[in-house]
Structure 1
Amino acid sequence: MKTKKTKKNNKVKFYQDSKELPFWNYKRIVQTGDFLYMVKGYEFGDEIIIDKEELENKFDSILQDYVLSQNSKNEEITNYCNYLIAINEIRKLEIIVEIIDRITESNEKKKSLGIEPDYSIVKELLQKVKVQKSDDISIQRQKVLDKIQKYKNQAEKSKLAIENAENDNSSDYDIDEQYIGVCLGLEMHVDPKLISLYEYGVMVKMLVSKVETINKSNQNAR
């Protein structure tokens, strides 16, 4: 059974800025409203003797500095995430379509030589993406194309939302969904307990930069 820890005000140390505050603690404060997560080493159930208003004010101060450094609203970040996730999936699926076409062409030649066609590589690739499966390769190809179009629509919708962000005052968001979106968009996973709020902000900036680079590349290709 866990023993409760009791800390008095003169022994309490709390996080001073976004470079110190672990992202996981930030999430817990946002989700639970428990500002005791501002205290270093705090775990749920610990008894901390401290003015919670002082913790709340410090958290607000850290958050204000963080928001100013990001220059992005939560709604914008979510749109950036959705856009990059869609772009990443489109690239994967387009590669699969190319492979399907090449293997289909190869299998046609095999048939003419009396060799059994083999689509095992395609089946293995399809296990790594979210798309309806079919034993008929022509139907499967169309299902992949349909999925690509769905992601293209999602990307376009998110892109428009980013462009119109100035007119969007929505503030509701899910911090877990946003964090997962950032990781998926960057195609990397980082343990939220191992990064600070500031470092999460760096990840967000990387995400935004990646989207802007893709957009510039697409514009230059036109």
Structure 2
Amino acid sequence: MADDGAAILEARDLACLRGDRAVFAGLSFALAPGEALLLTGANGAGKSTLLRMLAGLLPPTEGAVLWRGNDISDDAAAHARRMRYLSHQDALKPALTVTENLEFFARLQGGAVGPALAALALAPLADLPARVLSSGQKRRLALARLALAPVPLWLLDEPTTGVDAASVERLRPLLAAHRAAGGVVVAATHIPLPLDDARDLRL
């Protein structure tokens, strides 16, 4: 993931309508390699909606999302390969162990399971089925997917919901390494994240 200083992710005049109500309109920003953007605001302000647009999962009512100048809708498969989207749902398979869940995603996305387990302190839980984990442990397992194969774009929807302060702090080196390699982070959050010099967008 090379850092050439030019904007790689751009939101251009985005608008979202729900019925007759505009959730947001005329929303624009651009992020260069290594930058982070925090989405803040009240519930219902459109933070999750905006993340889904950036992920290519929801078409904007108006405007476009661009990657290196190209509309992401022109090649949805390529955009899916360049990002990790962490939603409110942990997307785990309850019957599989912690290790098996990560192995499943590693087969799809590449990467090594061992370092991902270590990054979120999941090694002691490696052989437990996901169904017996606490909500915080499940969230940590979902976050561990970020430590698999590197991709240039992380889209995170309330990534620290249900996790303790120590687990939030474990994200610091992950986020820092991702950005140092030229990766971009866009995160919706109600609580502070360990993202130095992040820009803020209040919806």
TM-score by length of 2: 0.22
The higher radius of gyration belongs to 1
Q: Using CA pairs under 8 Å that are at least 6 residues apart, name the structure with larger relative contact order, 1 or 2.
A: 1
More helix as a share of residues: 1
Between Structure 1 and Structure 2, the one with more strand by share is 2
